[in-house]
Structure 1
Amino acid sequence: MKLLSSWIVPKGYTAITIYPFIFFRDKTCMTPKIINHEKIHLRQQIELLLVFFYLWYGIEYLYYYYKFRNWKTAYLSICFEREAYKNENDMSYLKRRKLFAYVRGE
């Protein structure tokens, strides 16, 4: 994992994870909570061999966007984001996380 400050983070977001990198809008965004959130995404990406993660993420985003007609609601509805947001404050979550936890809504 490599933490980088970068312009590639879309407006409205603080960080984006593209294995093995975590890109932050700026250094002030590099908080333990956000780093933990992005580390959860790293684990999800590894489990789905990267390509399937991005494919699933994109399809689920499009489905929820079509359903809600709101990008923020669609983004927050994606199973990967639900898992990461639910557990971002738990710094020991990754030590006990089960495989494919996002499927079970953990």
Structure 2
Amino acid sequence: MKWRYPVLVVPSLPANGMALFPFILVKLEKSRFDEAMVRHEIIHLRQQIELLVLPFYFFYLINYLYNRLIYKDHFEAYMNIVFEREAYANDAFPDYLKRRKLFSWAKYFKN
């Protein structure tokens, strides 16, 4: 599949995939063709655009640190970052990026 954003293979990447505007970085060559993974990262790119890129990274880190205090576990803290919650909840849906509304990640804040 042809993507709008460049997908680069970075074997030394500490994660399987990562979005660093305007690039999608993947650890493995085969991941370039994993539509759910690439869609997950595109959701992050859209989030970055909404927050004017640099503030996204700040809010991502603050949300992670806050979650780390609550959950005391890296994985739980990561999985409960609002940006990750949106991306994981929707990366399996091919039409999500077409129907996604601005700031959709905001509804993933827990009550």
CA RMSD, 1 decimal: 1.3
Distance in 1 (CA, whole Å) between partners of 2:18 and 2:89 is 17
TM-score calculated relative to the size of structure 2: 0.89
Whether the aligned pair in 2 keeps the contact of 1:8 and 1:23 (CA below 8 Å) is no
Unaligned runs of 5+ in 2: none
SS in 1 for 2:30: helix
- Identify the residue that residue 9 of structure 2 maps to in structure 1: 5
Amino acid at match of 1:89: A
Query: 1:3-53: per-residue Cα shift (whole Å, max 9, x none)?
Result: 00004521xx21011000011011122200100100100100000001110
How do 1:12-91 residues align onto structure 2 when only pairs under 5 Å count? 13-30=15-32, 31-91=34-94
Identity over aligned pairs, percent: 41
Q: Cα 1:20–1:8, aligned 2, differ >3 Å: closer, same or farther?
A: farther
Is 1:102 paired with 2:71?
no
* TM-score, with structure 1 as normaliser: 0.93
Runs of 4+ in 1 over 2 A off after TM superposition: none
Unaligned runs of 5+ in 1: none
Corresponding residue pairs, total: 104
